[in-house]
Amino acid sequence: MNVPEIRIVKLDITECDAEALVNPANSLMRMGGGVAGAIKRAAGAVVEEEAMRHAPVPVGSAIATSAGRLKSKYIIHAPTMEKPAMKTTKNKVRSATAAALKLAESLGVNSIAFPAMGAGVGGLSIEESAEAMLAAIQQHFLITATCLKIIFLVGLNDDAVNAFRNALRSIILK
């Protein structure tokens, strides 16, 4: 069984060198604030226009669009909430992470980059987000053969990077 390398990096996700970037979206595919807003500003409004053609996208599903002006090939929009700026849960983050991974597999990408899903406007702490995401990543690779070679866990600051490291460490030490 292939297991991808997990790289934890301090970086703006729009600058990550991954084939697919994950947008922790809302079901309506509106890209206003947080990571979605940053992706829209860097990639261009075309990404939001493409995504909104698929709306509504339920939590637990994901869709892919082009990456606009970004060097990535795809943006994977995985809703963590139903409406913009709505609070989310660890279960929804776990479900969104799993959906993004499943779609990445079907697209055949070698690398994917995740921000802290559900943190920020979603209301989860970075630690809660990291724990939910790593649980979904671990579960995915227990049951799925993968084409993924690298999973980037991207944080804008040291707190996010440390939360990802601690969540990964807790899974490894179990």
The domains of the chain are located at 5-172
Q: Is the whole-model pTM more than 0.75? A: yes
Positions of the chain with pLDDT under 50: none
Determine the Cα–Cα distance for residues 170 and 174; give it in Å rounded to an integer: 6
One-letter amino acid identity for 143? I
Say what the pLDDT of residue 149 is.
94
Say what the pLDDT of residue 174 is.
62
- CATH fold of 5-172 reads Leucine Aminopeptidase, subunit E; domain 1 (3.40.220)
Note whether 167 and 160 are within 8 A (CB): no
